[in-house]
């Protein structure tokens, strides 16, 4: 049995536990369409069979999975859930299909239904705490082995998408949910097309694979899993709205710019019909990029959001394997277990173990670790510090490379051990290694939007956005070099000691920080006496940071570039010349 | 690639391998696509490496998040310089003044001098690898 089949088998059992009685409920349901309001996108219209999908207990579970995990501890109104996001993703999918059809694209009834259902169910496999628990479950062998299945060799789905896939293609989902729903509409002329809707096709769309044997319908997949898909269109607007971060994503302008165009898939050596953006819609793609950057900067990588996540990480790593959780096995160390509870159950459960209950209470009452240090390139003193910083941070964040992670972890564990020793010396007598967290977020990635978004510059001439204008590279560089930060967190009572101790420990391990690391963590005044006591003086960030001067060689390249355009610039010029003349 | 080389590659972190290769290039500039292509070829020869580097896409439009991230960290750490204005297909070059410290880091990880022969060989492959 393959690792994928094995995982599907285990997840199927969870589906069964949720939906065992559902066929009986379907028999007695009203089978009406439903309308409900959404504060951002207005009315949502659900077809009767979609209502039945929404009513399944496994979908209703999404009401207890907050969209931005623990971000509501920092942005109090960010309590929107995967439930409303999923329903509106379907609404947006419909709007895109309507736009395309109004431009003469022929979409069969059953295909339209498959895309709507795929959009609706695209997040059905979110585990408790959504992306907040991803760091944990994606390291589990059951998912990393399943992700290597040949099935995924072309479409490279994320771990979360693989879980969705397993749910929808499980025998239990078919037997307990999909087949009974189809049966409920048998013989109704309006829903005849449901006979041809295959839940496996829906699952394929969700993982980003072109529907089997339908390269000419690849755009249907793009709507749900592509560079500009309904997931992004909804979550960017929704997260912005509910966190209160103001920005604009003009979806009403984007939708009329969407087209279907023939594009050569060089990897598979075939032509595909893809969802592309007319060049007049580029401004909205730019808005999407900046919206993403803003959300990363202000929400997802906010220090308090990271602090809450680091506490959750600590809890799961330390306690997931213990028999204390409200799941059938009493553990939280498998995908099946993580699918069994939502966040209400996580917080509502009474834990017999005192230390776990204490951690859960800390999360619920927002008793979060505090910043002791903020580490960013600008806070590094010299060449050696930069080189070691880049080396170790690259190792620890490259999660697909266990060898690198091992080496990176060893380095940061040594820093933490030294920091504990110095913190104790400085007066934090009872501090332990688990009290110090070095939080290193994976740098956000914006390149994919530029690489994958296809811009139609003239009929049948599409090029990736990054070749049209590489602004996403500039955003990536800007974001990484000026905004990317990592943190050293400690409990409030030890933050001063840890600020000093971690500062010294990093220095000893080759990374010398300047006082900006303390200033950004609001520790510069509180820690002065500790630094003085141990005769260490942090260097000043205004003077002591490392800025290499351009070398002769670099100046040479600049001069060369001014003289001759790059190959890609020439390519764009040739295309434009072909279309519009000299 | 020989069986010994495959075993060696399995032991070395990807970013250490890339760092080693890049310092061997000294003042030669190299493109992102060249790096992806080299690792794609290495992944084809050693499938266990393919999963670690995850190079996808057609020739000329290859992409690898792990490698891109490593290059980004090297940019952030100023180990690499990139010509300005930023061209569409980004070219990098190692800062010569950073090489001694990078070598020291690789020695600490027991990558140099242990795997020097392999790294020099891979650097030569990168030098002769074209983007497309």
Digit-by-digit pLDDT tens for chain A (582 residues) are 899 999 999 999 999 999 999 999 999 998 999 998 999 999 999 999 999 999 999 999 999 999 999 999 999 999 999 999 999 999 999 999 999 999 999 999 999 999 999 999 999 999 999 999 998 998 899 999 999 899 998 888 999 999 999 999 999 999 999 999 999 999 999 999 999 999 999 999 999 987 667 778 999 999 999 999 999 999 999 999 999 999 989 999 999 999 999 998 887 788 889 999 999 999 999 899 889 999 999 999 999 999 999 999 999 999 999 999 999 999 999 999 999 999 999 999 999 999 999 999 999 999 999 999 999 998 999 999 999 999 999 999 998 899 999 999 999 999 999 999 999 999 999 999 999 999 999 888 888 888 889 999 888 889 888 877 777 777 777 777 778 999 999 999 999 999 999 999 999 999 999 999 999 999 999 999 999 999 999 999 988 888 887 666 556 655 655 555 555 455 555 555 554 554
The reply to whether residue B54 touches residue A156, judged by beta carbons under 8 angstroms, is: yes
Q: A375, A385 in Cβ contact below 8 A?
A: no
**Could you tell me if A543 and A557 lie in one domain?**
no
Angstrom distance (rounded) from CA B86 to CA A312 = 39
| Partner-chain contact B77 A391, CB within 8 Å | yes
d(CA A123, CA A207): 11
CATH number of B3-128: 1.10.10
Domains held by chain A: number: 3
Residue A209 in any domain: the answer is yes
Q: Is the same domain home to A138 and A191?
A: yes
Q: Decide if A40 is inside a domain.
A: yes
> Residue A294 corresponds to which tokens in the numbers above?
């803003």
**Contact with chain B for residue A390, Cβ under 8 A:** yes
Please list the alpha-helical segments (H only) found in A483-523: 495-508, 516-519
Assigned domain for A307 exists: no
Q: Does A466 touch chain B (CB under 8 A)?
A: yes
Through-space distance between the first and last CA atoms of chain A, rounded to whole angstroms = 61
Distance CA A89, CA A254 (A): 15
Beta-bridge mates of residue A43: A37
ipTM of the complex: 0.93
Q: Min CA distance, B23 vs chain A (Å)? A: 13
Cβ-defined contact of A391 to B59 (cutoff 8 Å): no
Within 8 A of A156 by CB-CB distance, chain B residues are: 54, 56
The answer on A226 and A137 residing in a single domain is yes
Interface size A-B, in CB pairs within 8 Å, comes to: 151
Residue A370: strand, helix, or coil: strand
Residues A111 and A173 in one domain: yes
Residues A70 and A203 in one domain: yes
**Contact assignment for B73 to A546 by CB distance below 8 Å:** no
Same domain, A562 and A439: no
Residue A180: half-sphere exposure toward Cβ, Cα within 13 Å: 21
Do A557 and A422 fall into the same domain? Answer: no
Binary contact (A395, B16; C-beta < 8 A)? yes
A248 φ/ψ sector (left φ>0, alpha ψ -120 to 50, else beta): beta
* Domain encompassing residue A228: 3-244
Is residue A12 in a domain?
yes
């Amino acid at each position: 049995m393959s690792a994928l089949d094995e995982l599907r088998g285990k997840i199927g059992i969870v589906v069964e536990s949720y939906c065992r009685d559902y066929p009986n409920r379907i028999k007695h349901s009203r089978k009406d369409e439903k309308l409900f309001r959404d504060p951002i996108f207005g009315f949502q219209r659900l077809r009767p069979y979609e209502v039945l999908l929404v009513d399944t207990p496994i979908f209703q579970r999404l009401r207890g999975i907050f969209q931005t995990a623990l971000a509501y501890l920092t942005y109090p109104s960010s309590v929107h859930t995967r439930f409303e996001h999923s329903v509106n993703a379907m609404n947006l999918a419909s709007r895109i299909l309507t736009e395309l059809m109004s431009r003469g694209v022929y979409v069969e009834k059953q295909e339209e239904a498959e895309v709507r259902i795929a959009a609706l169910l695209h997040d059905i496999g979110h585990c408790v705490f959504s992306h907040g628990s991803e760091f944990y479950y994606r390291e589990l062998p059951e998912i990393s082995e399943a992700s290597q299945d040949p099935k995924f060799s072309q479409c490279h789905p994320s771990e979360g998408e693989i879980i969705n896939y397993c749910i929808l293609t499980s025998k239990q989902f078919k037997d307990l949910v999909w087949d009974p729903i189809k049966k409920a509409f048998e013989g109704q002329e309006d829903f005849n097309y449901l006979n041809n809707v295959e839940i496996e096709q829906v699952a394929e769309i969700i993982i980003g694979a072109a529907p089997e044997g339908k390269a000419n319908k690849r755009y249907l997949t793009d709507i749900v899993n592509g560079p500009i898909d309904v997931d992004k269109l909804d979550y960017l607007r929704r997260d912005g709205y509910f966190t209160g971060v103001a920005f604009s994503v003009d979806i009403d302008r984007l939708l009329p710019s969407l087209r279907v165009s023939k594009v050569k898939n060089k990897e598979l050596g075939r032509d595909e019909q893809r969802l592309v953006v007319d060049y007049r819609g580029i401004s909205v793609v730019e808005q999407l990029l900046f919206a993403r950057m803003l959300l990363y900067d202000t929400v997802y990588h906010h220090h308090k959001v990271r602090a809450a996540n680091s506490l959750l990480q600590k809890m799961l790593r330390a306690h997931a394997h213990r028999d204390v959780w409200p799941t059938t096995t009493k553990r939280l160390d498998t995908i099946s277990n993580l699918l069994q509870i939502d966040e209400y159950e996580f917080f509502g459960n009474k834990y017999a173990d005192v230390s776990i209950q204490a951690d859960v209470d800390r999360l619920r009452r927002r008793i979060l670790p505090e910043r002791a240090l903020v580490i960013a390139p600008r806070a590094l003193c010299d060449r050696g510090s930069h080189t070691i910083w880049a080396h170790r941070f690259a190792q620890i964040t490259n999660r697909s490379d266990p060898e690198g992670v091992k080496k990176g972890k060893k380095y940061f564990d040594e820093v933490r051990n030294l920091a504990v020793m110095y913190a104790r010396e400085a007066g934090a007598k009872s501090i332990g290694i688990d009290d110090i967290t070095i939080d290193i977020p994976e740098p956000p990635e914006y390149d994919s939007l530029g690489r994958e978004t296809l811009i139609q510059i003239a009929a049948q001439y599409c090029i990736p956005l990054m070749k049209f204008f590489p602004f996403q590279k500039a955003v990536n560089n800007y974001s990484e070099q000026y905004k990317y930060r990592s943190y050293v967190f400690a409990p409030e009572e030890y933050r001063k000691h840890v600020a000093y101790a971690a500062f010294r420990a990093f220095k000893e391990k080759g990374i010398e920080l300047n006082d900006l690391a303390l200033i950004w963590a609001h520790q510069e005044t509180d820690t002065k006496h500790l630094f003085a006591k141990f005769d260490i003086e942090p260097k000043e960030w205004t003077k002591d940071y490392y800025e290499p001067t351009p070398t002769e060689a670099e100046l040479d390249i600049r001069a060369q570039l001014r003289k001759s355009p790059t190959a890609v610039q020439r390519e764009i010029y040739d295309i434009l010349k072909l279309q519009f003349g000299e | 690639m020989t069986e010994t080389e495959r075993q060696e590659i399995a032991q070395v972190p990807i970013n250490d391998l890339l760092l080693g290769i890049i310092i061997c290039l000294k003042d030669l500039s190299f493109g992102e696509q060249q790096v992806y292509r080299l690792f794609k070829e290495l992944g084809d020869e050693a499938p266990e490496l393919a999963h670690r580097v995850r190079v996808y896409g057609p020739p000329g439009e290859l992409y690898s998040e792990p490698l891109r991230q490593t290059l980004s960290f090297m940019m952030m750490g100023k180990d690499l310089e990139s010509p300005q204005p930023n061209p569409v297909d980004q070219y990098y070059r190692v800062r010569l003044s950073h090489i001694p410290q990078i070598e020291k880091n690789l020695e600490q990880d027991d990558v140099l001098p242990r795997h020097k022969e392999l790294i020099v060989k891979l650097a030569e492959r990168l030098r002769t690898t074209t983007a497309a």
